[in-house]
């Protein structure tokens, strides 16, 4: 992060300004990705007029960085009008799309409007893997064509590569694909439960030796020694720190106007159809409770070896039943990085299993990869 | 077209060309907000800057000219000898 960006974040935190917001304009989608956490039916999306009003309110509240996502944004016929309006309000806009429906006119307008980046998900370089994940035949071909089209118009594109069991073997080739397209690839092994709390999707995620292998791959994490370093004991600044920007300088708004601390933190704080955004942001009891939590307030995690370096997501902890509790997925990541079990893992007496995995990690990786490939 | 937002009296600006971030101090932010494509820089300095800050008009104008030149070099502002207020709308309506 640039020092200027850090300064903006610190100032926004100090002033209580929501510097960033994520607005899903629809949950409808033309793809049916196996790992998607959304219900794709339309339960009453905000109209264009309502979204314009929300954008006005977000601008007045000080939101600068705006992510427009879905669902698939282009499932809304008025999406380009929403985008134009957002840019008229001078937001720095990122768009997330699968690219399937992007045509020349969209790419040209993305460029003219100065969209910061367009993020497109690519799960594999192989159509049989990518299209099996999206359940939309021809989707890889169309998404790659969209990337090329956007690039030809001078639009900055990012490939998002969600890493899971069905595509674990392919992330290196996706990186190469990105390189050939002149596009950076961001790989993320995070699979989240459905918005309704259904955790069945988590089985698609990579765990144990696969996760360990990914976290020890220079191509994915850069400096492995640094990324996987044994954590230092948490000092006072860590214990007084906050988990992330959720509810502090960032929030999420659903297509139905519900406001949440984060897209990955489904705790309803209010609805912009019945309340002003700033009223929710400033006065929601839920938002203020999220804001009040410091690392030292976390009964298990404050005493954990990983407290200073853990990627603990309060939203995932919330979905596990307690936003002050551990996020098991992040415990698993800390363990995969360092080989040191978290306080939560020790409390749950999962240590023997974890140690067994760690001890045989190198030998097991290739075997699991082959199993994964066979399943594809 | 740039992105911009005021945060605690300072203007944050992001270049649409390369997403570079800039920040403007209070006086520069005032000039930025006043640049409506119709008002001249001299008028902005006289009616806004000198009205709000204790500064000699000639000094303020020289500083303002340096600022807008720098912003123009980064593609963040357009300097023209005629009103350009329609450009923003034209951009959006195309």
DSSP character string of A29-55: -S---TT--S--S-S-PPPHHHHHHHH
Which backbone phi and psi does B76 adopt, to 5 degrees?
A: -95, -15
Chain B residues inside the 8 Å CB shell of A64: 3-5, 7, 12, 14
Of B14, B16, B92, the CB nearest to A88: B92
CA A226 vs CA A49, A189, A213, A221, A229: distances in Å: 48, 19, 15, 9, 5
CA R_g for chain A: 21
Are residues B1 and A113, on separate chains, in Cβ contact within 8 Å? yes
Of B3, B21, B92, the CB nearest to A91: B3
Let me know: does A228 contact A236? Beta carbons within 8 Å.
no
Which comes out higher in pLDDT, residue A286 or A369? Answer: A286
The predicted complex's ipTM stands at 0.86
pLDDT digits (tens, 9 = 90+) for A23-51: 999 999 999 999 999 999 999 999 999 99
Query: Nearest Cα to A68, choosing from A83, A81, A58?
Result: A83
pLDDT digits (tens, 9 = 90+) for A60-115: 999 999 999 999 999 999 999 999 999 999 999 999 999 999 999 999 999 999 99
Q: Which residue has the tokens 């000080």?
A: A62
Over residues B36-48, the mean pLDDT reads 93
For residue A280, give every residue at least 6 positions away whose Cβ sits within 8 Å of its Cβ, in sequence order, or none.
A259, A269, A270, A271, A272, A287
A86 secondary structure, DSSP code: H
Residue A237 has pLDDT above 50, yes or no: yes
Q: How many CA atoms lie within 13 A of A153 on its CB side?
A: 23
Residue B92 has pLDDT above 80, yes or no: no
pLDDT of residue A310: 94
Are residues B21 and A4, on separate chains, in Cβ contact within 8 Å? yes
pLDDT of residue A350: 56
pLDDT digits (tens, 9 = 90+) for A118-132: 999 999 999 999 999
Chain B residues inside the 8 Å CB shell of A17: 7-8
Q: What is the pTM of this model?
A: 0.90
The two three-digit tokens of residue B9, written as one number: 């009296």
pLDDT of residue A197: 83
Q: Which of the four pLDDT bands, split at 50, 70 and 90, describes residue A4?
A: confident
Q: Which residue of A has its CA nearest to B76?
A: A114
Q: Which residue of B has its CA nearest to A106?
A: B94
pLDDT of residue B85: 61
B16 lies within 8 A of chain A by CB? yes
Residue A222 has pLDDT above 50, yes or no: yes
What's the CA angle centered on A73, arms A136 and A41, to 5 degrees? 70
pLDDT of residue A366: 30
Chain B residues inside the 8 Å CB shell of A155: none
Longest CA span, chain A:
58
pLDDT of residue B84: 79
Rounded to the nearest 10 degrees, the angle between the axes of helix A104-112 and helix A79-88 is 10
Q: Which of residues 60-89 of B touch A (CB under 8 A)?
A: 88
Residue B23 has pLDDT above 60, yes or no: yes
Are residues A92 and B1, on separate chains, in Cβ contact within 8 Å? no
Q: Which residue of B has its CA nearest to A93?
A: B3
pLDDT of residue A1: 63
CA B85 vs CA A50, A131, B38: distances in Å: 27, 47, 6
């Amino acid at each position: 992060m640039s020092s200027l960006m850090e300064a903006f974040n610190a100032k926004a935190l100090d002033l209580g300004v929501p510097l960033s917001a994520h607005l899903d304009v629809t949950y409808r989608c033309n793809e049916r990705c196996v790992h998607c956490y959304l219900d794709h039916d339309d339960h009453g999306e905000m109209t264009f007029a309502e979204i314009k009003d929300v954008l006005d309110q977000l601008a007045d509240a000080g939101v600068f960085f705006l992510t427009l996502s879905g669902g698939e944004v282009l499932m809304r016929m008025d999406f380009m009008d929403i985008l134009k309006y957002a840019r008229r309000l001078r937001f720095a806009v990122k768009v997330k799309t699968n690219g399937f429906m992007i045509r020349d006119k969209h790419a040209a307008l993305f460029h003219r409007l100065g969209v910061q980046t367009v993020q497109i998900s690519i799960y594999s370089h192989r159509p049989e893997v990518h299209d099996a994940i999206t359940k939309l035949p021809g989707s890889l071909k169309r998404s790659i064509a969209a990337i090329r089209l956007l690039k030809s118009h001078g639009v900055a594109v990012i490939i998002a590569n969600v890493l899971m069991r069905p595509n674990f073997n392919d992330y290196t080739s996706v990186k190469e694909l990105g390189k050939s397209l002149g596009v950076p690839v961001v790989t993320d092994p995070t699979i989240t439960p459905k918005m309704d709390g259904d955790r069945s999707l988590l089985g698609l995620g990579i765990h144990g030796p696969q996760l360990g292998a990914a976290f020890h791959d220079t191509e994915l994490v850069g400096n492995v020694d640094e990324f996987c370093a044994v954590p230092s004991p948490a000092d006072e600044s860590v214990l007084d720190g906050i988990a992330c920007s959720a509810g502090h300088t960032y929030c999420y708004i659903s297509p139905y106007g519900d406001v949440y601390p984060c897209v990955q933190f489904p705790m309803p704080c209010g609805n912009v159809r019945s309340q002003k955004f700033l009223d929710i942001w400033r006065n929601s009891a839920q938002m203020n409770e999220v804001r009040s939590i410091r690392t030292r307030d976390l009964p298990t995690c404050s005493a954990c070896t990983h407290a200073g370096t853990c990627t603990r997501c309060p939203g995932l902890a919330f979905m596990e039943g307690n936003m002050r509790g551990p996020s098991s997925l992040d415990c698993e990541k800390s363990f995969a990085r360092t080989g040191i079990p978290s306080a939560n893992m020790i409390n749950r007496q999962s240590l023997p299993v974890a140690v067994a995995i760690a001890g045989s990690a190198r030998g097991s990786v290739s075997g699991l990869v082959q199993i994964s490939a066979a399943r594809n | 077209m740039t992105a911009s937002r005021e945060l605690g009296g300072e203007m944050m600006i992001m270049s649409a060309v390369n997403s570079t971030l800039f920040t403007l101090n209070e006086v520069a932010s005032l000039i930025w907000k006043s640049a409506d494509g119709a008002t001249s820089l001299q008028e902005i300095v006289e009616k806004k800057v000198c009205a709000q800050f204790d500064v000699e008009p000639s000094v303020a104008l020289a500083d303002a000219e340096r600022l807008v030149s720098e912003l123009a070099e980064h593609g963040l502002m357009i300097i023209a000898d005629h009103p350009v207020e329609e450009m923003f709308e034209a951009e959006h309506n195309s």
